[in-house]
Amino acid sequence: MNRFDRRIAVAPMMDWTDRHCRYFLRGFSPLILLYTEMIAAAAITRGDAQRLLAHDPEEHPLALQLGGSDPRELALAARIGQEAGYDEINLNCGCPSERVASGAFGACLMLEPARVADCVAAMRAAVSVPVTVKMRIGVVSGAGAGWREALAGFEEADEQALHDFVGRIRLAGCAAAIVHARQAVLGGLSPKDNRQIPPLRYDVVRRLKQAFADLPVVVNGGLRDAAAVLDALRWCDGVMLGREAYHRPWLLTELHRALAPADAVSPERTLLLERMARYAARRMLEGEPLQAITRHMLGLYAGQPGAKEFRRLLSEGSRAPGAGPALIRRAAGVR
């Protein structure tokens, strides 16, 4: 089984963590584990797997997140993912989107632990890389008016359901539980609200870790700075960062320095831009528009003087006809 550092991961984020974004984020630390956006298993098995799974060798360690609920299809997609070079296959049991729920995948699967265990077992049998599951701490129904109340409490039965879910997937061969420390409201709340309104319950994840001492547990949700991440790492095996890593990727470098102080890696922002200019030149030769790459880079100077000018130059400039990698080099000097 592959072994890699699980302490810091960047979350799967649809429309955000595409290959360009991941290449950009890799520049901040060689340590972090990166995840793809969720890709439906059926899109891989019946669609254009080569395009969907394409990535740069520099993106490793790299996990593929799958959406689905059919063990055979997931197993096949996992095998294709492993053959494409992915270091981990992850099953999405945390996405509350209604579109996803209607296709029987995402957070609604938390109500079907036996089925998820079958999926994990089938994927595990199909690949030699680790199979992991990303989940919520639980789900509540958004039908009717009672969901706010349901969110406010996390009863013993809810905790038992979570432990039962994790116990089953672990028996099926799940190598790590990645837990977004919120319940999901199924139906009635937008995915965005579902990342904001349900309260964060790190205490629930902490007790889960205590109950499953030998299962790597990664906590996710609402972690915004290095202090909070390092604090969480005192009781869990890893932290997964979503929005903050996207909007303020320098945090990844801060964490790298804190966790691997002997490592000489200390990127300069201007060097990161040069790296991206070279990357953009390669991708543009394949027909990729510059903007598809630069749109992920706007947070490079977040919190620094000149951040606004940098953002404006990059986002307006990359839409201009004829814009190319030179814009990225120019952006390095705008501040």
Ligand X SMILES: Cc1cc2nc3c(=O)[nH]c(=O)nc-3n(C[C@H](O)[C@H](O)[C@H](O)COP(=O)(O)O)c2cc1C
Catalytic residue list: 95
Among 13-21, 230-238, 259-267, 274-282, which window interacts with ligand X (CB under 6 A)? 13-21
> How distant, in Å, are the alpha carbons of 208, 288, 312 from that of 328?
45, 15, 12
Residue 327: burial class (beta carbons within 10 Å; 0-12, 13-18, 19+) = buried
Asked if 201 touches ligand X (CB under 6 A), the answer is no
Among 22-30, 77-85, 215-223, 313-321, which window interacts with ligand X (CB under 6 A)? 215-223
Asked if 16 touches ligand X (CB under 6 A), the answer is yes
Closest of 281, 277, 310, 315 to residue 295, by C-alpha: 315
What three-state secondary structure class fits 320?
A: coil
By beta-carbon proximity to ligand X, the closer residue of 21 and 331 is 21
How far is the C-alpha of 183 from the C-alpha of 242, rounded, in Å? 17
What three-state secondary structure class fits 45?
A: helix
By beta-carbon proximity to ligand X, the closer residue of 233 and 326 is 233
By beta carbon distance, the residue nearest ligand X is 242
Asked if 22 touches ligand X (CB under 6 A), the answer is no
Tokens read off for 223 = 């972690």
Asked if 299 touches ligand X (CB under 6 A), the answer is no
By beta-carbon proximity to ligand X, the closer residue of 88 and 244 is 244
**What single letter denotes the amino acid at residue 253?**
T
By beta-carbon proximity to ligand X, the closer residue of 166 and 331 is 166
Q: Pick from 26, 28, 29, 37 the residue near ligand X by CB under 6 A.
A: 37
How far is the C-alpha of 324 from the C-alpha of 24, rounded, in Å? 17
Asked if 88 touches ligand X (CB under 6 A), the answer is no
Please, what is the end-to-end C-alpha distance for the chain in angstroms? Answer: 46
**What single letter denotes the amino acid at residue 15?**
D
- For 16, phi then psi, to 5°, come to -110, -60
Question: Which residues lie closer than 8 Å to 154 by C-beta, 6 or more apart?
Answer: 137, 138, 183, 201, 204
160: how many CB neighbours lie within 10 A of its CB? 10
Asked if 219 touches ligand X (CB under 6 A), the answer is no
Asked if 65 touches ligand X (CB under 6 A), the answer is yes
At its nearest, how many Å lie between ligand X and the CB of residue 107?
9
By beta-carbon proximity to ligand X, the closer residue of 150 and 223 is 223
Asked if 94 touches ligand X (CB under 6 A), the answer is yes
Asked if 134 touches ligand X (CB under 6 A), the answer is yes
Q: Pick from 4, 5, 14, 302 the residue near ligand X by CB under 6 A.
A: 14
At its nearest, how many Å lie between ligand X and the CB of residue 149?
23
What three-state secondary structure class fits 34?
A: strand
How far is the C-alpha of 182 from the C-alpha of 210, rounded, in Å? 18
Q: Pick from 221, 249, 299, 325 the residue near ligand X by CB under 6 A.
A: 221
Among 5-13, 21-29, 263-271, 295-303, which window interacts with ligand X (CB under 6 A)? 5-13
At its nearest, how many Å lie between ligand X and the CB of residue 219?
10
Residue with the two structure tokens 């000018």: 309
By beta-carbon proximity to ligand X, the closer residue of 13 and 277 is 13
Q: Pick from 61, 68, 81, 222 the residue near ligand X by CB under 6 A.
A: 222
- The separation between CA 28 and the C-alpha centre of its own chain, rounded to angstroms, equals 16
Asked if 241 touches ligand X (CB under 6 A), the answer is yes
Residue numbers 162-191 binding ligand X by CB under 6 A: 180
Strands 177-186 and 217-220: parallel
DSSP H stretches of helix in the chain: 19-26, 41-46, 49-53, 71-83, 98-102, 113-126, 147-152, 156-171, 191-194, 202-211, 226-232, 243-247, 250-259, 269-285, 290-294, 307-317, 325-333
At its nearest, how many Å lie between ligand X and the CB of residue 192?
7
Q: By the criterion CB under 6 A, which residues form the site for ligand X? A: 11-16, 37-38, 65, 92, 94-95, 134, 180, 195, 220-223, 241-244
